[in-house]
Chain A
Amino acid sequence: MPKSARLAVRKTYKLYIGGAFPRSESGRTFVVNGDNVALASRKDARDAVVAARAAQPKWAGATAYNRGQVLYRVAEMLEARRREFTSLGVKADELDAVIDRWVWYAGWSDKIAQVTGGANPVAGPFFNLSAPEPTGVVAVVAPASLLGLVSVIAPAVVTGNTVVVLAPEPQIAITLAEVLATSDVPGGVVNILTGKYAETAPWLAAHADVNALDLTGVTSGELAAELERTAAGTLKRVIRPRQDADFTADPGLRPMTALLETKTVWHPKGE
């Protein structure tokens, strides 16, 4: 080795919980592509739910305009960090799709209520309005690719939910976390856990303070069924796994509406 060669500073990939990057409380790591990355524990999953719950009311209560601005800022940061994602093996056209997808969702923040809510013409003297509201805290088993990851995170957060994401590709996911952490996304809105989702997902599926479970990234049918059964205990909303999902296609409204409740308010209309 020549004397002048500079030794690179390696990045440690940790978890992303509550806006911070802690190691797993368990002290466990595993090796992915030569990096030691954090292996999330059940306690980390619970901590992430606490962070997501704490952040949820304020995030949902932010103006739609504000949420849209924050999301758009994420797209700016993604664009700026293209090179880093490329070095992790993300292809240029996927990056284009990721950034465009994120921008697309950012624009939904102040439109989804108009498209999915509205006045109901009831047969009587009532003012009757339906409006969407976030389901709350969503636990997500994310697909491996960056495009898959943003395709499950963006629809959840743009609608005012907060998420706990189990991500199979740690380096890509934690690099996305660094994007989020520097994009005005409030701490706790997105929490990312790396490790073995088969280990942590059952705890999230059973967690009484998790309102919905997105199984898009689950690759085992058996595990998916088991997680669905567990989620039934608290009647969580479940998004089923989609092995054949084409994340480059127009996702439509379903990824957003699946994580929304509809609230209808009636008031008499009279003098």
Chain B
Amino acid sequence: MFEYAPAPESRSVVDIASSYGLFIDGSFSSSKEGGTFKTVNPATAEVLAEVAAAGHEDVDRAVAAARHAFGSWSALPGSERAKYLFRIARIIQERSRELAVLESLDNGKPIKESRDVDLPLVAAHFFYYAGWADKLAYAGFGPDPRPLGVAGQVIPWNFPLLMLAWKIAPALATGNTVVLKPAETTPLSALFFADVCRQAELPPGVVNIVTGAGDTGAYLVQHPDVDKVAFTGSTEVGREIARSVAGTGKRLTLELGGKAANIVFDDAPIDQAVDGIVNGIFFNQGHVCCAGSRLLVQESIAEELLFSLKRRMSTLRVGDPLDKNTDVGAINSAAQLARITELSEIGASEGAERWSPACELPDRGFWFAPTIFTGVTQAHRIAREEIFGPVLSVLTFRTPAEAVEKANNTPYGLSAGIWTEKGSRILAISSKLRAGVIWANTFNKFDPTSPFGGYKESGYGREGGRHGLEAYLA
């Protein structure tokens, strides 16, 4: 294999300030309680900026701003709201290189993913939902759908700007106003989005961004003047949120964890399946709730498939997220790296066989080599718990019925994969899998027109598509 010369994307397109305030009622202000925290580049551990930590008073201010803006925003004709959203979509497209570099710096994801996946999807979501704003009466939720009010939205660090788009675009299209809390480790792109809103001349208070840690988010979702809560993140936190809104009448949607089975049958095209497996678990360093983290392979082809998979994994380039040749970037935080490391050690200690390709990891920042475990059983913790990292557990099966049983043997139900050349088998298996998104002969594909969301403990509600409007309409 020949060596690629480094091909770094320039950082000069992004101008990161040394500190950022909260975006409330159309302008930036510091936290009333004066708290700040630092956000770092996970690839180098270098501090990128200091960001305000919103306290209770700040969240109160943000919710009040959103409440105030709700009256006029919801009264605006849908066609006018649409124009704001179209503006936002256009500005995102125009600033997409800047935002992609920023996202890779703050998150650690490879630039080719932030540039070619995240940013195009972010713009597409705003375009898609912009078009709904003046067509809500045709969406199938009744002839006169009404917005709910103020939406409190809490999003994770794995796709900071994409999750923001998933939350904000349908909320605004339906006439709601929002207070959004980005994740503590990746607040920057949301703050840049605040600037996009200003460029679009979005009325003050329609979008408010409060940065901070878990307690800021908890206070936001419990705020008595929030009408709708939307959360994407861990199942554990989702459960807490569901408990905390009990009895309040707030509407709630949750996009939680997953432990997807990627099922490969003996008639699958091996090379395509291997690429799908790699994309399923190593895309975005495995920081994907719908990642194909359990590979179920039919016993008769297991050896051949694993040989190809290992060969393919040996070609993955791990390193500088800003290098255009990088396939696998940095783990998002020291805490996440510790969790991946711990669960991987548990996998080995419980008797699964661990393998990683030879790969040199940078000496600064947070890194984890792509890893697979073979000889995994359903009882192993690595087969049951979400690792949220580039770690794949390999199990085998003999019959389609066994594959279905093993795939469904999890409290999660977000996604699944099926690899087979037989169309009727795809339909039969997909109808038996308890999962919200099923990729057949492909994996990890997203689109704003396509509803996304889980069964069982992977949460409730759907985001994307016509279905995604329902969460924001009375």
A-side interface residues toward B, CB under 8 Å? 115-116, 120-124, 126, 128, 130, 135, 211, 221-222, 224-226, 228-229, 231-235, 237, 240, 252-253, 257, 261-268
Contact = CB atoms under 8 A, between A and B. Distances in A.
B450 A265 contact: no
Contact of B254 (A221, A235, A257): A235
Nearest to B124: A123
Contact of A264 (B245, B247, B438): B438
16 contacts: A120-B450, A124-B445, A124-B447, A126-B445, A226-B246, A228-B246, A229-B247, A231-B242, A232-B242, A235-B235, A253-B141, A257-B470, A262-B453, A263-B435, A263-B437, A265-B426
Contacts of A130: 450-451, 465, 467
A210 to B, nearest CB: 12
Contacts of B435: 263
Contacts of B246: 225-226, 228-229, 231-232
Interface stretch (B305-313, B356-364, B365-373, B456-464): B456-464
A207 to B, nearest CB: 14
A237 B460 CA distance: 7
Contacts of B249: 240
Interface in B237-256: 238-239, 242-243, 245-249, 254, 256
Given A124-B447, A130-B451, A265-B440, 18 more contacts: A120-B465, A122-B450, A128-B450, A130-B467, A222-B247, A225-B247, A228-B242, A229-B243, A229-B246, A233-B239, A235-B254, A235-B256, A262-B451, A264-B438, A265-B430, A266-B439, A266-B440, A266-B445
Given A221-B247, A235-B235, A261 B455 contact: yes
B452 interface: yes
Please tell me the size bucket of the interface on B: 35 or more
B141 to A, nearest CB: 8
> Which one of B238, B248, B437 has the greatest number of beta carbons of chain A within 10 Å?
B437
Contacts of A257: 470
Contact of A211 (B238, B438, B453, B456): B456
A224 B447 CA distance: 37
A123 B235 contact: no
A225 to B, nearest CB: 2
Interface in B122-141: 124, 140-141
Contacts of A123: 124, 447, 449
Contacts of B247: 221-222, 224-226, 228-229
Contacts of A261: 436, 455
A98 to B, nearest CB: 23
B451 to A, nearest CB: 5
Interface of B: 124, 140-142, 235, 238-239, 242-243, 245-249, 254, 256, 426, 430, 435-442, 445, 447, 449-453, 455-457, 459-460, 462, 465, 467, 470
Contacts of B441: 267-268
A234 B457 contact: yes
A3 B467 CA distance: 69
Contacts of B245: 228
Given A123-B124, A130-B451, A235-B239, A116 B140 contact: yes
Contact of B426 (A121, A237, A264, A267): A267
Contacts of B447: 120, 122-124, 126, 128
A225 B245 CA distance: 9
Contacts of B438: 263-266
B361 to A, nearest CB: 33
A266 B437 contact: yes
Nearest to B426: A267
B449 A121 contact: yes
B437 A235 contact: no
Contacts of B459: 235
B435 to A, nearest CB: 7
Nearest to A135: B455
B232 to A, nearest CB: 14
A34 to B, nearest CB: 37
A83 B453 CA distance: 47
B131 to A, nearest CB: 12
B450 A264 contact: yes
Given A123-B124, A232-B239, A264 B449 contact: no
A128 to B, nearest CB: 6
A235 B452 CA distance: 17
A261 B462 CA distance: 9
A127 B456 CA distance: 25
B459 to A, nearest CB: 7
A120 B449 contact: yes
A120 B128 CA distance: 12
A224 B243 CA distance: 12
A128 B466 CA distance: 14
Given A115-B140, A235-B254, A253-B140, A267 B442 contact: yes
A257 B460 CA distance: 12
A264 B437 contact: yes
Contacts of B453: 262
> Which one of B235, B246, B439, B455 has the greatest number of beta carbons of chain A within 10 Å?
B246
Contacts of A237: 460
B145 to A, nearest CB: 11
Contacts of B142: 252
A268 B294 CA distance: 22
A192 to B, nearest CB: 26
A108 to B, nearest CB: 14
Contacts of B460: 235, 237
| Nearest 5 CB-CB pairings of A with B | A225-B247, A228-B246, A232-B242, A122-B447, A229-B246
A152 to B, nearest CB: 19
A235 B450 contact: no
A40 B303 CA distance: 55
Contacts of B140: 115-116, 253
A25 to B, nearest CB: 29
Contacts of B440: 265-267
B132 to A, nearest CB: 14
Contacts of A221: 247
> Which one of B124, B254, B430 has the greatest number of beta carbons of chain A within 10 Å?
B430
B86 to A, nearest CB: 17
B457 A262 contact: no
B247 to A, nearest CB: 2
Contacts of B243: 229, 232
A4 B266 CA distance: 80
B451 A264 contact: yes
A267 B449 CA distance: 15
A264 B436 contact: yes
Nearest to B433: A263
